[in-house]
Structure formats: structure tokens, C-alpha cells
Amino acid sequence: MEPITAQTLKERLKKEKTIEVGGIHFRIRKVPLLLLAEESDDLWGLARQGKDVLAGKIKDLIASPSLSRIRRVLLAGVAQPKLSVIHEEESVCVDLIMADSELSTGLFLAVVNFSLEA
């Protein structure tokens, strides 16, 4: 049995889909759920306590996200249009998205829910 090639693995793991939020279409991708955690959060410790404990913590993080958490998830999870930290010609500054609470919240939830899918 041959091991999987890097290209085949990349294609298998690259999951994206098009969604609509606020009447605007976006292309999103799955993100690591560790982006939900802050530096002080010990998700590995919680994971060792059990799946239910970790799931409860993740639900809490999603239910009351901090602005930095939303920002991290949007930067990593929105594939199109490209988002950036600074104003650039070929991208949208994430702070413009963050200024619209309905849009940023809708995108955040869409990316997180997509990332949680099996």
C-alpha cells in the first residue's frame, strides 16, 4: 500500500464552499478550531478531561466571541474576497467587515459551523 501524496492530501483537506451573508456571496474554508482559543485557554487540558468538556468550552467560545477571535476566524476562513489586516488594493481590510456587526457575525458563524462539519 502506497502512502498518500502531498497533492492528494491537500486536495482532500481543502474544503471550501460558497455562502450568502447579508445578500453578499463569500467563499469560505474550514479553519482550525484552535483559532477560537485565546493564549490562556488550555484546550488540550480540556480535551484530556473528555470530549463533552471540550465541546462545552467550544460552545462557550462561539456563544460569546471576542473581537480578536472573530477577526482571526474571518482572516483565516474567508477565501473570497481576500481579507487582509491592512488596506490593500486587491483585498478587503477585515476591519471594514468588522464594522458591520451583522455581516461579521454571520460570516463568523458560517465559518465556525462549516469547520465543525465532519
Name the residue among 81, 78, 100, 99 with its Cα closest to residue 91.
81
**57-96 tens-digit pLDDT:** 778 878 778 888 899 999 999 999 999 998 889 999 999 9
| CA angle (115, 18, 8) in 5-degree steps | 65
Res 39 pLDDT > 70: no
If you average pLDDT over residues 32-56, what whole number do you get? 75
- Backbone φ, ψ for residue 117 (5° rounding): -65, 145
pTM here is: 0.81
Give all strands (DSSP E) within 12-106, no chain letters.
Answer: 16-21, 24-29, 78-80, 83-84, 92-93
